Each structure stands twice: as structure tokens, then as C-alpha cells.
């Protein structure tokens, strides 16, 4: 991670951590970089979520890009995976998504996607960061080399058509709930599921620029759980602000998280004979229950650092076709190069419709271990991780849990804090181990507060 770009883009509070000047200069650099000194007419596709500040950042990015000679194609309000798909399918030099994902409305972010629809290469991000901290003046395009802005809503519609084409059966007679988080899917999700014949029931689809993720979406699954039960729905899907993640709710109102979804889809693919030798790629935050369930099925798995970026890299490198995170970033390698909430919902529906089993039955083969995660603000993340008192507390907790649990202490990739996590046979044991590590941070003089 660099000074500005973390595992999921440049993110922070709008006009405090991330300003319109940053956006303008990022556009200037990308336009200059891809124009190759005027030898190439660069094309960049841009999408945004529903935050009020997204419109401001879109304008600043367009100004920077066109001033450097690139053409900016606007998808308008759309999802991160749609930008990834269009960047790859329509031969763009790169894509930009303006979103802070599941963060509150006052935050925003700039996610960069390369021409293959993948998270941007570190080398280019390093170049942007150096430029942001410099007084370097890039050349302005002149006369007919000045770029233009193009309305490209047709690209978003093409992505919706692509999703619809992936469904294997009609959803006629299926009652499906959709929590759109007042974000990117507020129109798209219903369009997709209506086209596939479902009886759609939608909530959190009235964005006002300030209500994205407010008590709704994948970070507030309880609303969808109640919604499914109150309306007698067959299944519900909750998306985050930019729709690159999806969680589900079964017909009984139970949460079906990303680990459950990977289990359901991997088992379905194995039973169907389409999984082959592929392993399930997870992060170190996936639950032990997933690994035990996959062991029972004879399905292999690999673990990466936290971040769908690392999951995607592992999948590409090793040819695996499914991976993701417990938070709902699920990647289907032959269909997309990034996590895609709408695609995930379609793949879960494929398992439901083809097996003719409800989601509660499909997910029943995996039992979650109790898990406790606490976010801790410390004086210095690296110093805390390397402190001997803290390291000793982690070792002691690991030894006491043995094979019946684990602890994990890691830096957040998107926020200035450490995450302390424990899994064990009981919730009380998880709390005990997490609190013992936090206590060691306090004893070492590193603790500021527990969020």
C-alpha cells in the first residue's frame, strides 16, 4: 500500500482526505500516461455511486483527463464490476470508479481499473502518488488534441444484458428480495431480476446522495432478514454501495455470508462436474467452518492476504475459478475479473434453481465457528505489530486455542487501524482471546481506543 492508494483505491472523507484537486491531478496523470506523448488517443471509462460528492469528483476527473488529451466516457451511476466489464469488453485504456464502497456517505474513493478489468498495477499507482506529491507540471493538450466527454450509458446497459445472459433458468415464480443500499444497484438490480422473471421486492432503492449504506445493504443485513420473513420471500440479496459484494438471506431469514456463498457455489460446481481441479481461493479472514466443510467435500483451498485484489491475483496466477471474502466479494474467474454482487446473486440463484433446493438446505453443510472482530486505533500500526508484548500475547492465545481456534492481528487495508480477530468453539472464548491481545496493546502503551 502507498500513501494514498490502499487495497481498494484512494479512499477518505470527501474534501478532507480526498479532494477535488486530488481527483483533477489523478485525471491529469492518467490522461498524460495513456496518451503516450500524444501518440495515442486515450479512452477512459468512468462510473460513480450515488454519493453527493461523486458528481463533484466525476467532474474533476473529467477535467483532468480531457486537459491531458484523453476522452472520458461516462457510465453515470453504476457499479464497480460494470466498470471492470466495460473497460475490458470495450477496449478502454483504463476504468475509474468513484465510490467508497460500504463506507458512509461523507467518505468517497477513486478506484482504478486497468484495461483488462483488473485492479490497477502497483507501478502505475506509484507513479500517480509521486505526481500527487510533486510540483511537476504535465503538458496540457492543445487544439484538436484536447479530450472530450462522452455519454456512455449504453455501456451500462450492455453490462446488464451480459448479466441476464448468464442465467441458466427463468426465475418465474421466485420471490426475491433486493436490498440496494441506496447505492449503485438502485435501478440495476430490479432491472436484471425483473428481466429474468422474478417477483422482485426491493428496499433501499431511493438514494438522495446522503443515505447510501445508512442502515441498509450488506453491512446492515438485519433489515433484509426481516424483509424476507415479513414478505414470505424465497431468498434475499443485499449489496454494498458500489455492488462489488453481495450477502444473501435464506427463506428462513438466516444470513448467508460470503463464506457460505463460496461453499454453496463450489459444492454445486463440484457436483455438476464444472469445478475440475480448481481450488477455492479465500483470504485469511475466512471462517474455519468453511475449510472444514470444504475438507469434507474433498475441495482444496488456498489463503491470501485480505483484499479481493489478492484473491483475484491468486486466481489468475493458478487458474482457479472461484474465490472471495467472507464480506461478500466473490469472484467467478471465467466470468469476471473482480467481485460482482449482481453476478454472485445470479450464481446463487443458479444453484437454487438447478438443484431445486432452498438456500437454507444448500448452505446447511457448513457451520460457522464463533468469531469476534474488534477494530483498534493505535499509536503506530507497524510498531504495535512488532511490539514484543503484543507478539507474546498473540502467541499465547494461539497456543491456548490449539487446533480448535485461531487468532489474527492485521492492519486494515482501507482504514488507519488494526483488526484483532479470534475464532474458537464459543463466543466467550473468542472475546477472551481478542481482549487479551488488546490488553497487551494497552500495557505496551500503543492503544488509543477500541472502535
Residues 132 and 25: their CA atoms lie apart, in Å, by 7
Residues 177 and 352: their CA atoms lie apart, in Å, by 15
List the one residue out of 106, 6, 91 whose CA is nearest residue 43: 91
**Could you count the other beta carbons within 10 Å of the beta carbon of residue 343?**
25
Contact by Cβ (8 Å): 339, 97 = no
Contact by Cβ (8 Å): 201, 176 = yes
Q: Which helix (H) or strand (E) holds 192?
A: helix 188-195
Selecting among 101, 184, 278, 422, the annotated active-site residue is 101
SS3 303: strand
* C-alpha pair distances (Å), 100 with each of 35, 49, 54, 59, 139: 28, 9, 10, 17, 30
Q: Report the interhelical angle of 258-272 vs 288-297 (nearest 10°).
A: 10
List the one residue out of 242, 235, 212 whose CA is nearest residue 97: 242
- Helical spans, DSSP H, in 334-387: 341-355, 359-362, 381-386
101 is catalytic: yes
Q: Show which residues are catalytic.
A: 101
Amino acid at each position: 500500500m502507498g500513501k494514498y492508494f490502499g487495497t481498494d483505491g484512494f479512499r477518505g472523507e470527501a474534501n478532507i482526505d480526498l479532494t477535488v484537486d486530488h481527483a483533477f491531478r489523478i485525471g491529469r496523470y492518467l490522461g498524460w500516461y495513456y496518451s503516450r506523448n500524444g501518440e495515442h488517443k486515450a479512452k477512459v471509462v468512468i462510473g460513480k455511486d450515488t454519493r453527493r460528492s461523486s458528481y463533484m469528483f466525476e467532474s474533476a476527473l473529467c477535467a483532468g483527463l480531457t486537459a491531458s488529451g484523453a476522452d472520458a466516457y461516462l457510465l453515470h451511476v453504476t457499479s464497480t464490476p460494470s466498470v471492470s466489464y466495460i473497460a475490458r469488453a470495450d477496449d478502454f485504456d483504463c476504468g475509474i470508479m468513484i465510490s467508497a464502497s460500504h463506507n458512509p456517505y461523507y467518505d468517497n474513493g477513486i478506484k482504478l481499473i486497468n484495461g483488462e478489468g483488473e485492479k490497477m498495477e502497483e507501478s502505475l499507482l506509484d507513479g500517480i502518488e509521486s505526481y500527487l506529491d510533486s510540483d511537476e507540471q504535465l503538458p496540457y493538450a492543445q487544439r484538436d488534441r484536447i479530450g472530450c466527454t462522452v455519454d456512455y450509458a449504453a455501456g451500462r446497459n450492455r453490462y446488464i444484458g451480459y448479466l441476464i445472459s448468464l442465467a441458466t433458468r427463468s426465475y418465474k415464480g421466485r420471490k426475491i428480495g433486493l436490498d440496494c443500499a441506496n447505492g449503485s444497484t438502485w435501478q440495476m438490480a430490479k432491472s436484471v431480476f425483473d428481466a429474468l422473471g422474478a417477483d422482485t421486492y426491493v428496499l433501499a432503492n431511493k438514494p438522495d446522495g446522503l443515505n447510501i449504506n445508512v442502515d441498509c445493504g450488506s453491512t446492515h443485513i438485519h433489515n433484509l432478514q426481516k424483509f424476507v420473513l415479513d414478505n414470505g420471500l424465497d431468498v434475499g440479496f443485499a449489496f454494498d454501495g458500489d455492488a462489488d459484494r453481495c450477502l444473501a438471506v435464506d427463506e428462513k431469514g438466516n444470513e448467508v455470508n460470503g463464506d457460505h456463498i463460496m461453499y454453496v457455489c463450489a459444492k454445486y460446481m463440484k457436483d455438476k462436474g464444472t469445478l475440475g481441479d480448481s481450488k477455492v481461493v479465500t483470504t485469511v479472514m475466512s471462517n474455519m467452518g468453511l475449510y472444514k466443510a470444504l475438507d469434507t467435500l474433498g475441495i482444496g483451498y488456498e489463503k491470501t492476504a485480505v483484499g479481493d485484489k489478492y484473491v483475484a491475483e491468486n486466481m489468475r496466477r493458478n487458474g482457479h475459478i472461484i474465490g472471495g471474502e467472507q464480506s461478500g466479494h466473490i469472484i467467478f474467474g471465467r466470468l469476471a475479473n473482480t467481485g460482482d454482487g449482481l453476478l454472485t446473486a445470479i450464481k446463487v440463484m443458479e444453484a437454487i434453481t438447478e438443484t431445486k433446493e432452498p438456500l437454507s438446505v444448500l448452505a446447511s453443510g457448513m457451520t460457522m465457528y464463533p468469531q469476534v472482530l474488534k477494530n483498534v486505533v493505535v499509536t503506530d500500526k507497524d510498531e504495535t505489530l512488532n511490539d514484543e508484548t503484543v507478539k507474546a500475547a498473540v502467541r499465547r492465545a494461539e497456543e491456548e486455542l490449539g487446533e480448535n481456534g485461531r487468532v489474527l492481528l492485521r492492519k486494515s487495508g482501507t482504514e488507519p487501524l488494526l483488526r484483532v480477530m479470534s475464532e474458537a468453539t464459543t463466543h466467550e472464548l473468542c472475546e477472551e482471546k481478542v481482549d487479551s491481545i488488546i490488553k497487551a496493546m494497552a500495557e505496551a502503551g500503543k492503544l488509543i481506543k477500541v472502535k
